[in-house]
C-alpha cells in the first residue's frame, strides 16, 4: 500500500470512530440492595463494602431501578443482585446508571461478614 492509501484508511477509521459516539464503560457490580432515604443502594460484595446509589438511565423507557424499589417492599432482606451499569459520580456519592439487573434473589447475601453471623 502506498502512503496515500494508508492516510485514506486512517482518515476513514478516525471518521468512523468519531461518528459512533463516545464509548461508555460498563461493568457488573455484585452485591445486596436496600432502600435508604428513598434511594436504592447497592452494597458491593467486596472487602471494602463499597456502596453505590442506583439510578435509572436518563432518557430510557425502561426503569429497572424504579421497578426494583417497588419489588423491595415485598422481598425478604438481604436481597442479592447483579447490576450491569455504568459508574457515575453523584455529588460526593458513587452511583451507577443501571442498564440491567440479573439474578435477583431474596434472602441471599454474598457478604463475608454475613457468612460468619449465621446461626
Residues facing 87 on adjacent strands = 96
Q: In terms of DSSP bridges, do strands 27-36 and 39-44 run parallel, antiparallel, or are they unpaired? A: antiparallel
Query: Which residue ranges make up each domain of the chain?
Result: 27-116
pLDDT confidence tier of residue 111, bands split at 50, 70 and 90: confident
Q: Alpha-carbon distance 39 to 54, whole Å?
A: 7
27-116 carries CATH number 2.40.50: yes
Q: What is the pLDDT of residue 115?
A: 73
pTM of the shown model: 0.76
In 20-111, alpha helices (H): 64-72
Query: Of 68, 60, 110, which Cα lies nearest the Cα of 86?
Result: 60
Amino acid at each position: 500500500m502506498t502512503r496515500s492509501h494508508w492516510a485514506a484508511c486512517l482518515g476513514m477509521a478516525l471518521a468512523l470512530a468519531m461518528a459512533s459516539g463516545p464509548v461508555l464503560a460498563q461493568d457488573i457490580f455484585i452485591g445486596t440492595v436496600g432502600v435508604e432515604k428513598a434511594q436504592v443502594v447497592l452494597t458491593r460484595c467486596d472487602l471494602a463494602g463499597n456502596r453505590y446509589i442506583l439510578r435509572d438511565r436518563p432518557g430510557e423507557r425502561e426503569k429497572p431501578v424504579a421497578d426494583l424499589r417497588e419489588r423491595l417492599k415485598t422481598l425478604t432482606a438481604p436481597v442479592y443482585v447483579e447490576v450491569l451499569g455504568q459508574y457515575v459520580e453523584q455529588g460526593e456519592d458513587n452511583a451507577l446508571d443501571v442498564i440491567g439487573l440479573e439474578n435477583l434473589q431474596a434472602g441471599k447475601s454474598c457478604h463475608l461478614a454475613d457468612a460468619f453471623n449465621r446461626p
